[in-house]
Amino acid sequence: MTFPQKGDTAPDFTLPTDGGADFSLAEHRGKKVVLFFYPKDDTSGCTAEALAFTALKDEFSGHGAVVVGISPDNVKKHAKFRDKHELDVILASDEEKKVLETYGVWVEKSMYGRKYMGVQRSTVLVGEDGTVLESWWKVKVPGHAEAVLAAVESA
């Protein structure tokens, strides 16, 4: 599937989380949901991104938004990542990569001439009715969480 754009209906999903529960997009209708897709727990860029969203969690919550990070790492690894960095966002595990594929973020990448499959760092802001309000592709971490918060505030 292709990466969701503004106005698209966000594909529903349910994934296990670091807290031992499941996160279901459908169960969060009536709230804005920030889905940030990231490659791997405990790498420098992914840690910086998760910390930036954690730092702004109260502001997101104040505007009725829930923040969820999604990667192919398992829930045990997510819990270790959360505890190590005192993260305060939901971390959902997509080991089978079905949601990553559905959202179009499981893509062929290239590093030093080597091709491999991986997560394209990206974010989707889902509105209360399940429609995509905004999406960001090939995210650069510095300033990104702030940009997403600005979109939440203006939605």
Strand partners, 9: 131
Catalytic residue status for 155: no
Strand partners, 26: none
Measured torsion, CA atoms of residues 56, 60, 61, 62, in degrees rounded to the nearest 10: 100
Hey, which bits of the chain come out as E strands?
14-16, 22-24, 32-37, 65-71, 90-93, 106-111, 114-119, 122-126, 132-136
Residues in the chain: 155
Strand partners, 65: 32
Give the CA radius of gyration of the chain. 14
Q: Point out the catalytic residue in the list 46, 67, 105, 126.
A: 46
* Amino acid (one-letter) located at 29: R
Q: Which residues are marked as active site?
A: 46
